[in-house]
Amino acid sequence: MYDFAYTKPASLADAVRALGGADAKALAGGQTLIPVLKQRLNRPSLVVDLGGLGLAGIAVSTEAVTIGAATTHAAVAASARVQQAFPALACLAAGIGDRQVRNRGTLGGSLANNDPAADYPAVALATDATIRTSRRTIAADGFFQGMFTTALEPDEIITAVSFLIPQRAAYMKFRNPASRHAMVGVFVARGPQGVRVAVTGAGQDGVFRHTAFEQALEKSWSPAALDGVATPTAGLNGDIHASAAYRAHLIGVMAKRAVALAG
């Protein structure tokens, strides 16, 4: 790893200011950034540790679950209030990475990184979550802008994310047997914004909505409603693990299983 300067600001304003410098990089749980630095794939001159900003915490109302950006996946998974109000969200968090990754990795870090195989972008997009930052709020529909790309400015920090609680929801993923990352993950939700289906792991541009599935499930919320509904292979990843056609097939299988699980 190349060396860098390190700072751990105690206020959001100081953190934003530090990130405004040239080649500064924000550090949340570090479960992606540290491996990236170790491989010398990135060379920031300054690492700004967001761990001192007090951004962890979970609030649950009748309509929404709001989670602080620095909340770890383990904390979301173990939260009795999240399990009760929005079990599919707790379940998704419990399946990210492994136990040790979940003890460090954070919601804000996952969304800001927007890894094409990450799990959190799927639930954020499927519920049109509201992403609060140091300067504004951004709807998930406008947040994800392609692989490892988001609407965030370089000196903009996610502070919290609000998920509207769907009436029915579930997440199913097919893991790469070796890396355990999502080869395909599908989050289905039926809630205040109608039916939304978000797919992660499969798209060349990262997470995306499956509008054909959404229309079919609006008509009939059942796995059978997806019979014969095609998933175009254009824009899907193909690699040594799975061709684009195989991923398209998996999207249908995972979506059906998710609808069945959501009940």
The contact set with another protein (CB under 8 A) reads: 1-6, 8, 27, 30-31, 34-35, 37-38, 47, 49, 51, 74, 78, 97-101, 103-104, 180
Kindly state the smallest distance separating residue 196's Cβ from another protein, in Å.
Answer: 29
Kindly state the smallest distance separating residue 3's Cβ from another protein, in Å.
Answer: 5
Cα separation, 229 vs 238, in Å, equals 21
List b or e across 99-121, with b for residues whose CB sees 16 or more CB atoms inside 10 angstroms. eebbebbbbbbbbbbbbbbbbbb
* Residue 35: other Cβ atoms inside 10 A: 11
Kindly state the smallest distance separating residue 201's Cβ from another protein, in Å.
Answer: 18
**177: left (phi > 0), else alpha (psi -120 to 50), else beta?**
alpha
Cβ nearer to another protein, comparing 51 with 238: 51
Cβ nearer to another protein, comparing 64 with 74: 74
* 161 touches 131 (CB < 8 A): yes
Cβ nearer to another protein, comparing 96 with 160: 96
Kindly state the smallest distance separating residue 187's Cβ from another protein, in Å.
Answer: 21
Cβ nearer to another protein, comparing 180 with 249: 180
Cβ nearer to another protein, comparing 4 with 246: 4
Kindly state the smallest distance separating residue 80's Cβ from another protein, in Å.
Answer: 13
Kindly state the smallest distance separating residue 42's Cβ from another protein, in Å.
Answer: 12
Kindly state the smallest distance separating residue 114's Cβ from another protein, in Å.
Answer: 19
Phi, psi values for residue 225, rounded to 5°:
-65, -20
The CB-based long-range contact list for 234-239 (8 Å cut-off, 24+ gap) reads 235/203, 235/204, 235/205, 235/208, 236/202, 236/203, 236/204, 237/116, 237/201, 237/202, 237/203, 237/204
Cβ nearer to another protein, comparing 34 with 60: 34
Location of structure tokens 């999240």: 82
Cβ nearer to another protein, comparing 75 with 251: 75
